[in-house]
Amino acid sequence: MSLVDTLKSVVGMDPTKHADPDMLTVLDALKRLEPKPLQSLEAPEARRQPGPADAVRKVMLEQGISPPLSDVITQDISIPGPGGSNAARVYRPEGIGPFPVILYFHGGGWVIGDIETYDATPRAIATLTRCIVVSAHYRQAPEQKFPAAHADANAAYDWLLANAATLGGDGHRVAVMGESAGANLAINVAIYARDYDLLPPAHQVLVYPVAGNDTGTASYHENSNARPLSKDMMLWFIEQVVRTPEDKNSTLINVLAADLKGLPPTTVITAGIDPLRTDGEKLVERLREAGVPVEHQNYEGATHEFFGMATVVQAAKHAQATVAAKLKAALGVPDTAPAAGYVVR
């Protein structure tokens, strides 16, 4: 970390001032929604706070932007897990199947967020890939502590392999994907599939993953006061999730310490203005050391949560197109040219 970045973290400067203009527009809209700091709240109230998805809707309304046209059909279902059934949403493209299937896990620090607040990403990926996307919810902390979410994610993968055909999907062409805490669940599902000799995912997409247990990394310092995710918020999430301090050392959370050999080809997306950026960068290194093919793209002027903002943020359009192209190639779907117009730095 440079001396300038160190000074920024010490004096509390806002790193989001260097965000792309369209990203700043969303952050301004979120600020005007006046969410309370999550770290000052109990989990139930934190789940009711305005979030990035609300800010995107506000920008779309203010700028007269209509939702993109899509022929994706949705169906809300339940998936059984070890603690009971969990909500899930199926995004199915029109046409004749069976379609490849992508299992998606939303973010929210294993505490907040659900299939409704994270609707944009699976809807876009289903549209772009012409695959079925299953967005699977999971038990959340602090009501259900670690490792409840991980157990539910594994159960969702088991269920999908057995039931893909009932959704119009092909259970032999499956990928996993997640954002933030959901990306942590996705890579752990891939590890679970390897360790239990299940059909491996053909590809895994990890969007700004929670991959380590070190909150003193370069990106945590540089972006300690970032929006919409700060260091204090991440510390609050961790406090809600773990049963004991030792839980933070589990390789389910600290994936950087896990055995990563034999995992599927991987796409990692990171954001420059994100405390978790270094987690993603280190995970890319560890995966490559383990012999896993990896493509990594960092969007320097974007923040955490940007990926689902393609209606208003150009970086998200590019990132979604990049991810869709990788998934289509891995799952045997005819490819088309990704959207252009955003410079990856």
What letter does residue 276 receive in the DSSP assignment?
T
- Catalytic residue positions, numbered: 180, 274, 304
For residue 6, what are the contacts with CB-CB under 8 A and spacing of at least 6? 221
DSSP state string for 192-237: HHHHTTPPPPS-EEEES----S-TTSHHHHHTTT-SS--HHHHHHH
> Which residue in 130, 145, 67 sits closest to 98, CA to CA?
130
How much helix, strand and coil, in percent to the nearest 5, is found in the chain? 45, 20, 40
> Which residue in 4, 19, 85, 98 sits closest to 52, CA to CA?
19
Q: Which residue has the tokens 């949560």?
A: 305
For residue 219, what are the contacts with CB-CB under 8 A and spacing of at least 6? 274, 275, 276, 277, 278, 279, 281
Distances 331 to 26, 129, 207, 343 between C-alpha atoms, Å? 33, 9, 19, 27
Beta bridge partners of 178: 105, 206
Instruction: Specify whether the CB–CB gap between 305 and 29 falls below 8 A.
Output: no
Measure the CA–CA gap between 82 and 155, rounded to whole angstroms. Answer: 7
Beta bridge partners of 267: 205, 295
Sheet holding 169-179, edge to edge: 73-81, 84-92, 132-136, 99-105, 169-179, 204-207, 266-273, 294-303
